[in-house]
Amino acid sequence: MAENELIKTDFSSELSQRYLAYALSTITSRSLPDVRDGLKPVHRRLLYAMRLLRLDPGQGFKKSARVVGDVMGKFHPHGDAAIYDAMVRLAQEFAMRYPLVDGQGNFGNIDGDNAAAMRYTEARMTLVAQLLLDGIDEDAVDFRQTYDGEGEEPVILPAAFPNLLANGAQGIAVGMATSIPPHNAIELIDAALHLIKHPNASHAKMLDFIKGPDFPTGGVLIEAPEQLAEAYATGRGAFRLRAAWQCETEKGGGWKIIITAIPYQVQKARLIEKMAELMQAKKLPFIADIMDESAEDIRLVIEPKSRRIDPKLLMENLFRMTDLEYRIGLNLNVLDGTGTPGVMSIKDALLAWIDHQLVVLRRRTSHRLNKIIARLEVLEGYLVVYLNLDEVIAIIREEDHPRPRLMERFGLNENQANAILDMRLRSLRRLEEMELGKERDDLNAEAADLNAMMADEGRQRAVITSSIKAMRAQFIKTDQRLTRIEPQPVLDSDPAEMLVEKEAVTIVCSENGWIRSMKGRIEPDADIRLREGDAPKFHLHADSTDRLVIGLENGRFYTISIDKLPGGRGFGEPLALMIDIAVDTPIISIMVVKPGKILLASSSGHGFITEIDQLIAQTKTGRQVMTVMDKARMIAAKPLAGESVALVGSNRKMLIINADDIPVMAKGRGVILQRYKDAWLADATSFRAEDGLSWVQLGGRTRTERDITPWVGKRAGAGKIVPVGFPKPPRFT
């Protein structure tokens, strides 16, 4: 094939292959961390470059630009800005639970301000970073060629610290992502120590050690234990994190809220800005002012408009409307030991780290054994010198080429001969000979012990346990849990009510379903404008903080907050625009939500009693409460006002029964209240027997019948003819 010859190929096939290569590169080389050391390639290269620069915790700082330059020039063929951004995050105490870089200078802050340029900041490694690199010079891990083939870089770090779960990780790849919150190192170590002894421990057992995420910014975790257990067992879930706060009292009975910690990854400046916007939009009417008094610690001061407000209710509203409550996702999607991406449970991730520690231990042990063998070989050569000292000196003095002569005369190999020729004269002492013999014996004993350990996995696990306990001792004094875990608080009232100023209103709804909320208590006989051809139907008094329950003939109920209704100007708006009301289905009831029982009845003569809470719907689609069969329809949904229930049919027969004979149900058709033949139930109401039964006559006058004995009967009876003057068609109101 000629050098410049064009090759024709299918475009979609070629594009698919190239995109697949890009996707795999993004997944394995950029976005997903390795389960063994919890690092992405850029972080691994940063730490390795800092080790080569000898930026150990006890050494001095070097310019960040020096580190970034080495990483970019030797290991990471990407832009310096991306490398420096990764380095900055490793140094931020509010981003990393256990920082890997010890920064000197401006590395950004929790307000969201950027770090200073790399030429102004300096850095070195932390003790945790040193733990991740411990043993890297002892053949603990594999190395590969760098991108330009001029050097080598580690494929993975030895990682004596459980970095993946301790510091967490975030990343978005192609078709997958990872989100791992940070955890407390002591809790992870305790769980790992248990897994070393009991690898088959249950997922639930992990919660005895790992209480939940532990964020560097603190806060309060309010997730239920069962949801934590499910998330940790599956590797997927979410955690609700809230700001930590306290109520600070003042002289005279006043108080203010002090925010002492904000959720992880929430920028303080942006949080305050968002709250100020909500205050300006009058969506936080219960707050008078918010001030930022933070120095090194977080201190946000929130002043209420009234000292009579419950602080817990105030905070619940802020949690609902601002990032003072933030949802942290868990997606434990990582690369396993073979480089394959997958979602792991928290137990599996810890087991993978433990297995990696065993591999590192075996490799470091093999490296040490090879060093011992090489040293013993040299020692044997040295001992030959002491046994034949005069002859060795003579060969060195007289021979032009002493190396081959020594090898031939004493049966030495080249390494031993070179070691003998490199010996210093002052080493040729009797005391030195004795020390060499002791060293040989010690090395032989060490080699025997290491070989025995390599053949016994139980001893290997014991060695790992000992090293992990030693690491635990370094953290136990200073590593306290920062994030509190508390149950979801139970409140006596709805926090949403605080968002609405309480005032008296009148609800007016017309025959055609146009509804509005008018300020004040307006009587039904007042002149209220309606659209042409429309007529009034419902008129009730309420407060602006109340909710309405709306019942339709089909037995379905809807809920709407009064503050969501249009004002009194104009004709209002159709209810059909606010809730999903079935077409041409009449509204038969509108009630204010207040504690109590509700009487439901249908035209088939069936009915039951229910609690008002059973009528409340959470969505616009409503809630089916009463089942109506065939051509029947719900004709009554009224608060239970007494122990007696009056029923009247289209045949003008009335029956009064005891409310105790009607069952209390959550939903359904109910029981037969009154029987009919070629008729149906026209209306139902409840009342107190001592007050008598009232109804509205033609002309609007109200009549009360106090002697109700003729109509009192058993449930499911037929009833008797209504009193003279009862309205036509038969209705109580």
Between CA 205 and CA 197 the distance in angstroms is: 13
Q: Enumerate the H helices of 198-255 as residue ranges.
A: 225-234
Q: Enumerate the H helices of 612-662 as residue ranges.
A: none
With H, G, I as helix, E, B as strand and everything else as coil, classify residue 605.
coil
- What is the DSSP code string of 287-325? EEEEEE--SSS--EEEEES-TTS-HHHHHHHHHHHSTTE
Query: HEC states along 492-509?
Result: CCCHHHHHCCCCEEEEEE
Q: What is the DSSP pairing of strand 325-331 with strand 236-242?
A: antiparallel
Query: What length does the chain have?
Result: 733
- What is the DSSP code string of 417-458? HHHHHT--GGG-SHHHHHHHHHHHHHHHHHHHHHHHHHT-HH
- As to burial, measured by CB atoms within 10 angstroms (0-12 exposed, 13-18 middle, 19+ buried), residue 73 is middle
Q: How many helices (H) and strands (E) does the chain have?
A: 16, 35
Residues 6 or more apart in contact with residue 11 via CB below 8 angstroms: none
Residue carrying the six token digits 């910014």: 217
Residues 6 or more apart in contact with residue 243 via CB below 8 angstroms: 219, 220, 259, 260, 261, 262, 263, 319, 324, 325
- Other beta carbons less than 10 A from residue 154's beta carbon: 20
- The DSSP call for residue 243 is -
Between CA 366 and CA 10 the distance in angstroms is: 52
* Selected catalytic residue, list 120, 147, 382, 558: 120
Between CA 362 and CA 360 the distance in angstroms is: 5
Residue 120 a catalytic site member: yes
CB 332 within 8 A of CB 238: no
* Active site residues per annotation: 120
